[in-house]
Amino acid sequence: MKGSSQHETIYRAISDAVIEHRLKPGARLREDALAEVFGISRTGIRKVLQRLALEQLITLTPGKGATVARPSAEEAREIFDARRMIECALMARLATRISAVEVKQLRAVAQHEQQALRGHEQSAAIKASAAFHARLAELAGNQTLAPFVAQLCSRSSLILAVYGHSGDLGCDCNDHNFLVDLLEAGDSDGAAEFMHKHLHAIESSLSIDEVVDETPDLRDVFAVYRDAGAR
């Protein structure tokens, strides 16, 4: 891998580690350690970190470097407020235009999430849940809002990591299937109302506790990437 291709792969690797909670909120991300893990210059790592900072997945502090972002309680409330305002409106629109093929796609993602939950694969379940909501926004047909919803979903994963409970995504595992039922039936009002209830349930499940910053072993976190590169 060279240039932008390598940067994109590293961006995805770090982003996934944050979203899947392998890198916890507040964790330090040392440039030198990341450069060693990914076999790239610190300048290259710095570009990736700047992109992640723009998406608010990490925080860059002068003199201290990079850490995984840790949303405050106020930020958490604002993010869920934004999600309710946007996603509920998108569901009302999607219910009038969703196709049978798209319904099938959504059910496949929801099934993957349920399988992950049953297998106690928390990281996979979190990723599948975020992918489900991002896909809903894409299908609603607003290409301006879709990437913004995906970003909000990523930040929600951080909120769950900070304020959530281990093994709990904050919502009933059948919620997504029920939402698809409403969309398939063309129930615009029902889909919008249920999305509001769904997001409110997630937010209500959170509890605010102090957490201690940590410095993770980045070689361990990205062992899969390192092993793949060696093959």
* Rounded distance between C-alpha atoms, residue 113 and residue 119, angstroms: 10
**How far is CA 33 from each of CA 23, 37, 150, 225, rounded to the nearest angstrom?**
14, 6, 28, 14
Residue 137's closest CA among 127, 128, 147, 129?
147
pLDDT per residue as tens digits for the range 189-206: 999 999 999 999 999 888
pLDDT per residue as tens digits for the range 119-173: 877 777 888 888 899 999 999 999 999 999 999 998 888 888 778 765 565 566 6
For the chain, strand residue ranges (E) read 28-29, 58-61, 65-68
Q: Confidence band (pLDDT; 50, 70, 90) for 101? A: very high
CA-based diameter of the chain, in Å? 55
Q: What is the predicted pLDDT for the residue at 66?
A: 95
pLDDT per residue as tens digits for the range 32-50: 999 999 999 999 999 999 9
